[in-house]
Structure 1
């Protein structure tokens, strides 16, 4: 009995001791977690929402925001700091949270590398770091975390290869590495991830082929590899994964044909984006079996043959892009598949342009769903007429039928398409009059009816289209006078082209209302009368063509205000009098044609008249003098003597007196300067001379405190930027140090030096010097030294950085508009005033820097391209030897076709930038999925007249108005300003480069908006 009692006593004692040990261990573990969390907080340098302010001793750490603990041991199992606008780096102490199962740091501004200590978290299942600025390579030791189910690293700055070791994570369900700078091949080992449902590798720099091994991912639902440099074929094994609902492989260099049975083997397919590749063959007939298909993009490939006639079985289809292929046979019935599409009641966008479709334009087009917003069938070989009933498509925003063989008249019913913004019917064979009803399309911004056989008068009703920016009615048989209602449309800012018609009468005085117009062409008509003085009000004019008419009288002195003019053609008229001297003072003049008139007197010899290739004055019998190459007779000697006498009395004598006075003053100043020059010389050299001589590595190392992380102000794909100051003058500088281990960094350095060598503009970041040297370890070192911009980059202002008053920084509408104009002016300079023109190729908010006065400066020319090619045009240029240039979200779609670098690519990026400034959303925002992009988002908001898309800080910022509650006329005009910016952004970011504007016209449009807004004195 005693022994059993003793045994029981021992058991109770052991249990007690174990409980004490567990309690002690738990207490130690809790303290470890608390210390680790505080260390994590210490690495966070900015917390604008005060989310971590309660991470202190007043509460148990399990009650801290973002922290979740287990109920049994009170150990941290989840750390969720998502979307708190935090900035900083990840502390190595995170590896001490040994019970951690979930890390969620998404949608912040964390930078630096993922600490190696994360490999201690053997319980970790969920890792989400998306939409930050993490750098370095993806850790191979993540593969020791065998319980990982989700790795989401998208929208960061990771480099290097995708680790082969990731293929050992057998529990992995999601692997998203989208929008980074990863290189190399896709590892075949990823085919071992049997549980994987999402594989997203898009928006990197991956090359090689898509491994066949990925066909073993039997549970895969989403497969994204678009916007890389992948070649080869898409493995047929992928098309046998029946669970797939999304395949996005666009903007690569893939080839081959699509499997004939893909619609059968992929019954759950919802999205197939294969655009901008080199696919060939026929479109699979079985696609109609994929009944869940919503978006089908096969554009810009090499597909041939007929489009399957049963596509209408896809009743959920909303987006169909077949443009830019070789579809059709140039024969009848090529578009018979449109008949079946009338069953697709959700269809919104139909793109069939740039193909070989022939036959009669089918009347069944009018039976398509009223949800249709865009219909583009241009650049085909269609005949017939616009079918009656086109007005049924009441929600059309864009209608393009240009460059076909269409005949008949433009139906008056087209005026019922009240939401139409772009109407493109040029280069067809339309006859008859322009319908008066076109004036009912009051939202129209672009109208192109050129190169047809239209007759009759230009309808006065066109004056009701108050949003028009482009009107092209050239190359027709229009007659009568030019309606004053049309030339009085002061919103026309891009093009007014009425040339090559039969127009008569004078140019109306209302032409002076076109104060924002860049291009006016009324040439080759039968216009008469004098050139109206009011034309001098059109101070933004760059190209003015009035040739081959019957204009009379003298060239008015009011045209001296046209300081932006580049091309002016007044030839083949009946003008008289002398050539105005003010032509000498046009700084941008590239072409001046005054030939075949009745001009007389002496031809000037200054300005453009120095260059015979710029001017033409032939056919004017009364002209004399000029430069010898013009071979004009000498001017009358007596007249010359009179002029010389007049010159002596009026100019020479006063000038000589002024010169003598100046010489005397300069002599006195010279003596004074000599006495002071020795004192001034050293200070001048120290403060200015440094930036025109070589700077050593040692000087830069000292100026940046050893390239300290405390001085780090930014990082990109090719290097890091540090703040610094030279001891000799204390002036702040920004030092961009190239990471020469990254592929392309040296090329980036050379490109930036070459580009910045000769450019000078107030809205470009000023380069002060460059350093190409060896560091203290004997490694190559390259750096650029720039003027420091104290207000950082635009990205930080748009996406919520903290200012000095403990509330979110917010840019007002005025500030955003001024920044947009600054950037546009910089691009205009690069595109139109540099020889050769320069394409920036990486325009985005983080490359736009703001000085003390919030003036914007465009920087980072590491991807810039000098456009040397002879016969250069802004739309097309030489093909680059490397792939897509720029940053994901801002890269124009055409760069996926082998890298066609052009200024129109910068225009696309600028359009996205404008939309980002208005909406406050990056183009890579997580909301943009399932076919929705920032461009489409903005287009839909415009069509719905909605302000919900606007950045809330812009709508309800301090001292600003609530756009949703504005009802008066002033408010309506404010909304009009806002919509004008959005409309401009949408136009600039159109898929087709030819449809985008030039930067010169964009600057003018923005200035119009600014003038309107300033006039309202709204904020």
Structure 2
């Protein structure tokens, strides 16, 4: 009896102590939550965490859930609220916490080691943030942890070996961080593991053999690392796998014959971009639940003998870039097996060694087929008319084979077709009229074939066409005017190396968006139509090798974007017009014509490597390196000079002229002293005179509704001027001591430079406003598509089209061309000093214009760099300014090159150079260079540009080449950086190679 009495007393005592402890711990939870809130930045002004205050119990705060009995915090869920800041170490005091969700925000800093104190924690979801530093080993103390999601952050270092103690762990997502070292063998001891996702890191070494112990594993993702060696045989014990992704590594060896028998539940198999060899095992046909099979970019070889007929769920089969093929008579029989795969949407077997004919039963493939490519093989014979049965195909690619015969007219049934490259075959016959049914096609390439006849006029129905290539065929007849009414043509039109005749239609001027036009090496006659000047986007024009005659049309002086012009090997005559000096030409070929007179000296004519005028026997003058004869000197009438009356007239006029000059000079100096507010330098071309009142009216009194930008030196308004139209008006804030210097610098820099890719200034306005205050403003042409910053980093509430790879490449070329002009083609070199996305503006056609010359410097070879004030300090913007500027080095062209390189890397990765991930010496340059060495280019690119319709191999080649240019521009030592002329040339070569 006494024993029970004592026991009751102890129980009561324990209850009292526990109650007190719980009350105290309630207070601990509240304090911890408030500490957590203090470290969080809420962009919506406290909207998400507005309830986290003393007015209510913390169990009622948004995102917080407490236990019903003890009122302790058991769950925090703050997903996708746009929150940033750091994670307070006091979160470790929430000891009843079981679920913690902070995913899809922008938290940064390290994951505090105190989080290891949450011994009841079951789910930790921190993915899609910017957390840095190492994964805390203390997480191994969270013995109840079942789900650990820390992917899509900036975590570094190795995966803690201590994680093998997490015996309850089912899912661990580490993907897309910067983790190094090897995949720890200790993971093989967590036998409860179902998901291991570690893609997109820097893991090296081999795949641990003991991962084969994870019998419950359904998802193994190790893609995009630096893992080498062979697939360990133990992995074939993982019979529950739904996904096996080992792509983008350095794995090698062959797949065992029994491979397909070991994974009865496998739905996705990704082995692409490795070094696998040997034959694809026939047992692949036993992966009956397979939805996606990707074997591309390896060295698989031999006959493709897999019976795919049982893979009724297969949607994607990628076999491209291997050595598949045997030359057997039934080489293409695998297509018949695939006709049983009714869900098949994507089939890519391009860049292999397949031989034989394309069988008629290709038309029996799935009606869901969207992407079909057999390009760059050794297929021969005719393209079967049954190809027209693939009515939903959008990309049909058969280029670089040995196909003969005509293009089947049944292609007109493919009304969803968007890309249709057939180049590099031996096709003959005419282009079928049914081509006009392809209203969605945007890329047609029939080049390098034996096509004959005329270009069908029905092509004018292809109103989505942006690129058409018919070069190297036997086409004849005149160019149909309907072709030039395809207004969507914007990238490339190539009709060269055919037998086209007749005049160049005047309708050519309707191609206002076209960038490159090549009609060279045909039999065209007549004159170059003046309407060609309406092709305002044209950068390259090739008309050489025809029978054109007459002179160069004067209207071509308005083609200010033209960079390459080839008129060689024609019958053109007359004088070479001087307006060609003013165009931004980097290559001008006028050879083998009948031009006469004196050759101009400036612009492209000043550089013998930019101009060619061979075999024009009547030309004279020019720069000495062109080795033309001197032009004859005109003889004057000697009697004119020796007439006494004329001598008196000349002397008198000279004296009068000198007096006028002296008087004007005195008047000018007095006026300049009296009018101190007059602009220091006026441009060579007169600016439009605009008053303060006109600008006030144009902007509705500088209304905030017209405010489109703000910066350190003032505000930018949109306005409408009667005599000009839409303009942007930069009003200087003269309270800022640097504003006047910026105003003068910008006017000086823009006083004589004119280039398609530079912002055009309408006027520099310096006057007095209605209150008698000093007023300074710059008026520019308005860029309808805003600045590059908004396209690279759109806000969540901004709705705009995706900024694709081609557009980014074109912008990169535009900006590089502008810098090349400023550095190498101006009378005085201009150093921009502040190149960044917000200073690059895009017009309605998405042509880029470099603007904001407020920090620009002029360089004269004898005087050096202009200085507006010794107090200007280090120029440029953090992240874009060259490192040597911070050490006091003089501003230079190489500094602009560095800024351009950073800009180019930002355009490719979608990350600002000031991103929170770039700390402790790790920067955007390191980030992209690691992708090159790690063979993981797609893992660092902006996801938007990975959606390109370009063939993946071509796309990646383009990205790699552009990254290499960015890295070459951002070398630490200025002398090791590229020059902008080379940048322009290499970017244009990339564009020509990829976007034919």
Same fold (TM over 0.5): yes
Q: Give, in angstroms, the shift of residue 488 of structure 1.
A: 2.1
Closer, same or farther: CA 101–605 of 1 in aligned 2, 3 Å: same
Closer, same or farther: CA 224–794 of 1 in aligned 2, 3 Å: farther
Match of 2:361, SS state, is helix
Is 1:251–1:893's contact at 8 Å kept on the other side of the alignment? no
Q: 2:617 aligns with which of 614, 621, 628?
A: 621
Cα distance in 1 for residues equivalent to 2:218 and 2:657: 84
Is 1:332–1:360's contact at 8 Å kept on the other side of the alignment? no
Matched, 1:312 2:329: no
Closer, same or farther: CA 853–336 of 1 in aligned 2, 3 Å: closer
Cα distance in 1 for residues equivalent to 2:243 and 2:256: 16
Residue number in structure 2 paired with 1:943: none
Q: 1:367 aligns with which of 364, 369, 372?
A: 364
Matched, 1:498 2:495: yes
Residue number in structure 2 paired with 1:25: 21
Cα distance in 1 for residues equivalent to 2:446 and 2:804: 35
Q: How many residues align?
A: 780
Residue number in structure 2 paired with 1:340: 337
Match of 2:524, SS state, is strand
Match of 2:76, SS state, is strand
* 1:277-292 equivalences in 2 (<5 Å): 277-292=274-289
Cα distance in 1 for residues equivalent to 2:667 and 2:501: 61
Match of 1:337, SS state, is helix
Q: Give, in angstroms, the shift of residue 909 of structure 1.
A: 4.5
Q: Give, in angstroms, the shift of residue 332 of structure 1.
A: 3.8
Closer, same or farther: CA 325–822 of 1 in aligned 2, 3 Å: closer
Residue number in structure 2 paired with 1:355: 352
Residue number in structure 2 paired with 1:328: 325
Q: Give, in angstroms, the shift of residue 8 of structure 1.
A: 7.2
Q: 1:83 aligns with which of 77, 80, 84?
A: 80
Q: Give, in angstroms, the shift of residue 132 of structure 1.
A: 0.9
Residue number in structure 2 paired with 1:46: 42
Closer, same or farther: CA 729–464 of 1 in aligned 2, 3 Å: closer
Residue number in structure 2 paired with 1:721: none
Is 1:893–1:991's contact at 8 Å kept on the other side of the alignment? no
Q: 2:30 aligns with which of 26, 30, 34?
A: 34
Closer, same or farther: CA 47–509 of 1 in aligned 2, 3 Å: closer
Match of 1:296, SS state, is strand
Cα distance in 2 for residues equivalent to 1:658 and 1:382: 84
Residue number in structure 2 paired with 1:520: 517
Residue number in structure 2 paired with 1:535: 532
Residue number in structure 2 paired with 1:596: 592
CA displacement, residues 662-706 of structure 1 (integer Å, 9 cap, x when unaligned): 8767877999999xxxxxxxxxxxxxxxxxxxxxxxxxxxxxxxx
Residue number in structure 1 paired with 2:231: 234
Matched, 1:441 2:438: yes
Cα distance in 2 for residues equivalent to 1:812 and 1:661: 62
User: Normalised by the size of structure 1, how large is the TM-score?
Assistant: 0.69
Is 2:361–2:386's contact at 8 Å kept on the other side of the alignment? no
Residue number in structure 2 paired with 1:559: 556
Cα distance in 1 for residues equivalent to 2:269 and 2:362: 24
Q: Give, in angstroms, the shift of residue 301 of structure 1.
A: 0.9
**Cα RMSD after superposing both structures:** 4.5
Cα distance in 1 for residues equivalent to 2:84 and 2:299: 47
CA displacement, residues 586-630 of structure 1 (integer Å, 9 cap, x when unaligned): 22x222221222221112222222233322222223222223333
Closer, same or farther: CA 818–326 of 1 in aligned 2, 3 Å: closer
CA displacement, residues 743-788 of structure 1 (integer Å, 9 cap, x when unaligned): xxxxxxxxxxxxxxxxxx989xxxxxxxxxxxxxxxxxxxxxxxxx
Q: Give, in angstroms, the shift of residue 453 of structure 1.
A: 0.8
Cα distance in 1 for residues equivalent to 2:292 and 2:637: 80
Q: Give, in angstroms, the shift of residue 95 of structure 1.
A: 1.1
Residue number in structure 2 paired with 1:468: 465
User: Normalised by the size of structure 2, how large is the TM-score?
Assistant: 0.71
Match of 2:451, SS state, is strand
Q: Give, in angstroms, the shift of residue 475 of structure 1.
A: 0.9
Residue number in structure 1 paired with 2:389: 392
Residue number in structure 2 paired with 1:722: none
* 1:984-995 equivalences in 2 (<5 Å): 986=949, 992-993=955-956
Closer, same or farther: CA 592–436 of 1 in aligned 2, 3 Å: same
Closer, same or farther: CA 991–792 of 1 in aligned 2, 3 Å: closer
Residue number in structure 2 paired with 1:176: 173
Match of 1:550, SS state, is coil
Is 2:547–2:570's contact at 8 Å kept on the other side of the alignment? yes
Cα distance in 2 for residues equivalent to 1:667 and 1:534: 48
Residue number in structure 2 paired with 1:102: 99
Q: Give, in angstroms, the shift of residue 408 of structure 1.
A: 0.7
Matched, 1:631 2:631: no
Match of 2:379, SS state, is strand
Closer, same or farther: CA 553–122 of 1 in aligned 2, 3 Å: same
Matched, 1:825 2:811: yes
Q: 1:811 aligns with which of 798, 812, 833?
A: 798
Is 1:90–1:110's contact at 8 Å kept on the other side of the alignment? yes
Q: Give, in angstroms, the shift of residue 59 of structure 1.
A: 3.1
Match of 1:511, SS state, is helix
Residue number in structure 2 paired with 1:755: none
Q: Give, in angstroms, the shift of residue 329 of structure 1.
A: 2.9
Match of 1:93, SS state, is helix
Is 1:297–1:321's contact at 8 Å kept on the other side of the alignment? yes
Q: Give, in angstroms, the shift of residue 32 of structure 1.
A: 1.6
CA displacement, residues 861-896 of structure 1 (integer Å, 9 cap, x when unaligned): 99999999xxxxxx9xxxxxxxxx9999x9899958
Q: Give, in angstroms, the shift of residue 584 of structure 1.
A: 1.4
Cα distance in 2 for residues equivalent to 1:666 and 1:468: 59
Closer, same or farther: CA 538–398 of 1 in aligned 2, 3 Å: same
CA displacement, residues 258-301 of structure 1 (integer Å, 9 cap, x when unaligned): 12211111111111111111111111111111111111111111
Cα distance in 1 for residues equivalent to 2:623 and 2:636: 16
Cα distance in 2 for residues equivalent to 1:892 and 1:421: 34
Cα distance in 1 for residues equivalent to 2:432 and 2:657: 63
Is 1:236–1:259's contact at 8 Å kept on the other side of the alignment? no
For structure 2, the 5+ residue unaligned runs are: 642-648, 677-734, 740-756, 760-786, 824-834, 843-850, 853-876, 884-896, 902-907, 909-921, 963-982, 989-996
Cα distance in 2 for residues equivalent to 1:655 and 1:528: 53
CA displacement, residues 343-377 of structure 1 (integer Å, 9 cap, x when unaligned): 11111111111111111122221110011001111
CA displacement, residues 295-316 of structure 1 (integer Å, 9 cap, x when unaligned): 1111111111111240232111
Cα distance in 2 for residues equivalent to 1:594 and 1:299: 47
Cα distance in 2 for residues equivalent to 1:460 and 1:640: 59
Cα distance in 2 for residues equivalent to 1:187 and 1:794: 42
Residue number in structure 2 paired with 1:700: none
Is 1:421–1:446's contact at 8 Å kept on the other side of the alignment? yes
Closer, same or farther: CA 894–203 of 1 in aligned 2, 3 Å: closer
Q: Give, in angstroms, the shift of residue 729 of structure 1.
A: 9.1
Is 2:225–2:934's contact at 8 Å kept on the other side of the alignment? no
